[in-house]
Amino acid sequence: MKVLVVNCGSSSLKYQVFDMTDESVLAKGLVDRVGIPGTTLKHEPAGKDDVLIKEDMPDHTEAMKMVLNVLVNPEYGCIGDMSEIGAVGHRVVHGGEEFAYSVVIDDKVKKVIRDCFDLAPLHNPPNLMGIEACQTLMPNVNHVAVFDTAFHQTMAPANFVYALPYDVYTQYKVRRYGFHGTSHFYVSHRAAKLLGKYYGFCKIITLHLGNGASMAAIKDGKVISTSMGLTPLEGLVMGTRSGDIDPAIVFFLMEKLGMDANEANSYFNKKSGLLGLSGVSNDLRDVLEAADAGNERAKLALDVYCNAIKGYIGKYIAMLNGCDCLVFTAGVGENAIDVREHICKDMDNLGIKMDSKKNKVRGKEIDVATEDSKVRIFIIPTNEELVIARDTFNLSK
């Protein structure tokens, strides 16, 4: 069976086509600026040249139509006919408390995705738009939702409720959910393989360090804690998000800067983090470059970024009562040699010893701990699309 994986953002649509007989990727691509003048579709078919199409697409249904045309194009397509696509997997950011696993999408599932609009206003509406566009164009195949929150649903109440009046949990579902679950799931399973241990007996700390960043502590196959919370704002320092701060800073700055709730939301989500602190960029590469050139604020931003991660490693080792391995993944985790080095420096007391020579590597699955390190340090490139394709295939066989 061939499976189409779709990930819709507010103005973007990413896709991949998998042949599930060998899990190979037949093609992938990105439609950018959906609904904004200047739409582009970049299509990357396996073994053929990339194709760039520039044509304005007013909405996700039009963008999806264009993608389907590209997939069957005799010259650069990857399938002969649309009927070869047996199922479609959709990335959905928020599944609330309803979904601990992936599910075949029906009206009830769509209602839950809609009910979670409040909790993920930037993500769930475009995710649902993508689902509805695909259902309109491919009404006869299974559509499966794979949730970013699902893997974290194993957390115990003691690790997911906030110390607020309990009513806000029962009434408004204010609690820790966590995100990037598909990535934490994938790399933690790979880590168990590399450890040569049964997944259900491992203690794993996963570090998904991309533009957004989160960590998870996984014990006996279950997430026991994760750094993102009700929303992706909590936890680590990110490209433009502050991560953990004293909540009183919000009221203080709302008053000082005259911000309303919407403006404050944008301030802490879009103007903070590496960008706000360094004044250089939200992209870690730019911040590293500026720090190398002697920019003091960039250096400070990197120290704050790494210290937040170190803090969570300590917390999670305490919660797990030890740890078999750390797993670095996503753009920064897979590629930023100096950042990994900085994070793992002076952690030998916790059994973490990095081999600096082995660590000089990018984007490769490898153990970069010293021989005598009690804790293994893995770099594992993530593959969220493959998890979505597998779940979709398994629910559609």
Active-site residue set? 148
DSSP class per residue in 48-82: S--EEEE----SHHHHHHHHHHHHT-TTT-S-S-G
Helix axis angle for 261-270 and 248-257, nearest 10°, is: 110
Closer by beta carbon to ligand ADP, 11 or else 211: 211
Least distance CB 338 / ligand ADP (angstroms) = 8
Residue 41 has phi, psi (to 5 degrees) of -120, 115
Q: DSSP code of 37? A: S
Binding of ligand ADP at residue 9 (CB under 6 A)? no
Binding of ligand ADP at residue 277 (CB under 6 A)? no
Chain CA centroid to CA 145, Å: 15
User: What's the rounded Cα separation, in Å, for the pair 214 and 236?
Assistant: 6
Q: How many CA atoms lie within 13 A of 55 on its CB side?
A: 12
Please select the residue that binds ligand ADP; options are 283, 289, 341, 365, rule is CB under 6 A: 283
Number of residues that bind ligand ADP (CB under 6 A): 13
Q: How many CA atoms lie within 13 A of 319 on its CB side?
A: 23
Closer by beta carbon to ligand ADP, 45 or else 331: 331
- Listed ranges 2-10, 13-21, 138-146, 278-286: which one lies at the site for ligand ADP (CB under 6 A): 278-286
Least distance CB 192 / ligand ADP (angstroms) = 22
Binding of ligand ADP at residue 210 (CB under 6 A)? yes
Alpha helices in the chain (DSSP H): 60-71, 107-115, 124-137, 157-160, 167-172, 181-195, 248-257, 261-270, 273-278, 284-292, 296-320, 330-335, 337-344, 384-394
With CA atoms as reference, report the closest residue to 277 among 242, 234, 252, 235: 242
Whether the CB-CB separation of 212 and 237 falls below 8 Å is answered with no
Sites for ligand ADP among residues 314-343 (CB under 6 A)? 330-332, 335-336
- Listed ranges 84-92, 164-172, 281-289, 294-302: which one lies at the site for ligand ADP (CB under 6 A): 281-289
Position closest to ligand ADP via CB: 331
Least distance CB 200 / ligand ADP (angstroms) = 28
Strand partners, 7: 14
Least distance CB 252 / ligand ADP (angstroms) = 29
Residue 219 has phi, psi (to 5 degrees) of -130, 130
Whether the CB-CB separation of 206 and 175 falls below 8 Å is answered with no
Closer by beta carbon to ligand ADP, 98 or else 234: 234
x-or-dash pattern for ligand ADP, window 169-208, by CB under 6 A?
----------------------------------------
Least distance CB 7 / ligand ADP (angstroms) = 10
Closer by beta carbon to ligand ADP, 135 or else 211: 211
Least distance CB 5 / ligand ADP (angstroms) = 15
Integer angstrom CA distances of residue 34 from 14, 79, 121, 148: 11, 24, 18, 23
Cβ count within 10 A of residue 44 = 16
| Amino acid (one-letter) located at 327 | V
- Listed ranges 31-39, 159-167, 283-291, 351-359: which one lies at the site for ligand ADP (CB under 6 A): 283-291
x-or-dash pattern for ligand ADP, window 235-274, by CB under 6 A?
----x-----------------------------------
Least distance CB 140 / ligand ADP (angstroms) = 32
Please select the residue that binds ligand ADP; options are 285, 360, 364, 374, rule is CB under 6 A: 285
Closer by beta carbon to ligand ADP, 84 or else 365: 365
User: What's the rounded Cα separation, in Å, for the pair 300 and 237?
Assistant: 12
Sites for ligand ADP among residues 362-381 (CB under 6 A)? 362
Q: What angle do CA 79, 84, 87 make, to 5 degrees?
A: 120
Please select the residue that binds ligand ADP; options are 211, 265, 269, 295, rule is CB under 6 A: 211
User: What's the rounded Cα separation, in Å, for the pair 142 and 227?
Assistant: 33
Least distance CB 397 / ligand ADP (angstroms) = 30
Closer by beta carbon to ligand ADP, 65 or else 342: 342
Strand partners, 40: 32, 54
Binding site for ligand ADP (CB under 6 A): 210-212, 239, 283-285, 330-332, 335-336, 362
